[in-house]
Amino acid sequence: MKFFTVDTERMRLDASGNLGLGTSTPFGKLSVNVTSGAPATSGNMTNALTVHNTDGGRAIQLGVNESAALTFINSGYVNNAGIAQPIAFYTGGVEKMRLTSAGNLGLGTATPQLPLHIEGATGSQVLISAASDSVGTTAGILLRAEAGESNSLARVKSAIFFERIAGTYGNGDLKFAVNSDANNNTVTVADTKMTINSSGNVGIGSAPISGARLTLGTGALANEILSFAPATGGSAEFRNTSSTGFFKWTNNDGGSEKMRLTSTGDVEIKTGSIKVETAGQGIYLSLIHISEPTRPY
């Protein structure tokens, strides 16, 4: 069945029950052939299928822009396309997601405050999952502080990765990476600066050593591992919160103790000697005893 106005076919209902508007060959139950083009930015809405409530009310469009190789959804006023309107997404009659006129997307909230705002009644989580069980597989978040690049991954200089390790339960290490190259290179796992492994041990500038809660690698200066920069007039402090605890210095495998600072403030050197180098300053030493002590431990 064909429908005409001014001797021109406008609509067709074919033998399969498919209805075509602007087309004589409908592809589905309702097929609408619209004029291709970008959505209007002012005046009346054009170039798309438009749904609206009144002659001057809010409206939503579904259209095609062949020259830009895309389809689009547009929300505004039917007679003033340049006034942006929010779009809400519902399931079961309840709003679940909203895209505001400012471009903020809210999941679980109708008033998103940032480009992506996720809100849940009992807490919100975001799941980023890699579809592989292979060791070395990563899932992560990439961070870039620069305007859009023609290559979407150029100059991404920071990231947080979760890297899969051996095992069958998805265990892995959390890695914080920064790429400081002055070029278009993008950060990778190889740029890791800090790692929290599956045992909860932390490594900064180095992979965590088994059994050590904190492992520090060499810093920017040769052999510099840890530096303190207190405010002017301030002080740097190491603190053991146990009243009977002590500080212990060992060799690289942790198995041979070399020096100990006891809870009473005594310094015990197990082997070796004290060497003091000065630049013309006076050194006063008293009550120093270096020996192989007999410890009650």
- Segment 50-89, tens digit of pLDDT: 999 887 889 999 999 999 999 999 999 999 999 999 999 9
Q: What is the pLDDT of residue 286?
A: 47
Asked if the structure places residue 185 within a domain, the reply is: yes
Same domain, 196 and 255: no
Sequential pLDDT tens for the chain (297 residues): 999 999 999 999 999 999 999 899 999 999 999 888 988 888 898 888 999 988 788 999 999 999 999 999 999 999 999 999 999 999 999 999 999 999 999 999 999 999 999 998 888 889 999 999 999 999 999 999 988 667 678 899 999 999 999 888 999 999 999 999 999 899 999 999 999 999 999 999 888 888 788 888 876 666 666 777 777 777 777 888 888 889 888 876 667 888 889 888 888 887 666 665 555 555 555 445 555 555 555
Burial class (CB in 10 A: 0-12, 13-18, 19+), 46: middle
Region of 264 on the Ramachandran plot (φ > 0 left; ψ -120 to 50 alpha; else beta)? alpha
Confidence at residue 221, expressed as pLDDT on a 0 to 100 scale: 64
CA 88 to chain centre: 26
DSSP code string of 24-56: SS-SSSEEE-PPPSPPPSSSS--SEEEEESSTT
Instruction: Provide the phi-psi class of 47: left if phi over 0, else alpha when psi is between -120 and 50, else beta.
Output: left
For residue 287, the model assigns a pLDDT of 45
pTM higher than 0.75: no
| Separation of alpha carbons 201 and 208, rounded Å | 6
Query: 204 and 145: one domain?
Result: yes
User: Is 37 within a domain?
Assistant: yes
Instruction: Single out the residue in 183, 216, 249 at which a domain terminates.
Output: 216
Instruction: Please report whether residue 83 resides in a domain.
Output: no
Total domains in the chain come to 4
Answer yes or no: do 209 and 275 share one domain: no
What residues make up the domain containing 102? 92-118
| Statement to judge: residues 181 and 243 lie in one domain | no
Same domain, 69 and 101: no
Residues 142 and 200 in one domain: yes
Half-sphere exposure of 138 (CA within 13 A, CB side): 17
Q: Has residue 189 been placed in a domain?
A: yes
Q: What is the pLDDT of residues 253-262, one digit of tens each?
A: 667 888 889 8
CA 203 to CA 173: how far, in whole Å?
A: 11
CA atoms within 13 A on the CB side of 229: 0
Boundary residue ending a domain (216, 247, 280): 216
Is position 14 within any domain? yes
Can you tell me the distance from the alpha carbon of 128 to that of 172, in angstroms, rounded to the nearest whole number? 14
pLDDT at 55: 79
DSSP the chain: -EEEETTEEEEEE-TTS-EEES-SS-SSSEEE-PPPSPPPSSSS--SEEEEESSTTSEEEEEEEEGGGTEEEEEEEETTBTTS---EEEEETTEEEEEE-TTS-EEES-SS--SSEEE--BTB-------S--STT-EEEEEE--S---SSTTTT--EEEEEEE-SSSS--EEEEEEE---SSS----GGGEEEEE-TTS-EEESSPPPTT-SEEE---SSTT------PPTT---------TT--EEEE-TTS-SEEEEE-TTS-EEE-SS------SS------S---S------
Question: What mean pLDDT value characterizes the chain?
Answer: 86
Q: How many other CB atoms are there within 10 angstroms of residue 268's CB atom? A: 17
Per the DSSP assignment, residues forming a β-bridge with 121 are: 123
Region label for 211, one of left (φ > 0), alpha (ψ between -120 and 50) or beta (otherwise)? left
Q: Confirm whether 132 is domain-assigned.
A: no
Q: Report yes or no on 124 lying in a domain.
A: no
Residue 284 counted as domain residue: yes
pLDDT tens, position by position, 157-181: 999 999 999 888 999 999 999 999 9
d(C-alpha 218, C-alpha 28), whole Å: 67
Cβ pair 293, 268 in contact under 8 A: yes
Tell me what pLDDT residue 294 has: 57
**pLDDT at residue 260, rounded to an integer:** 87
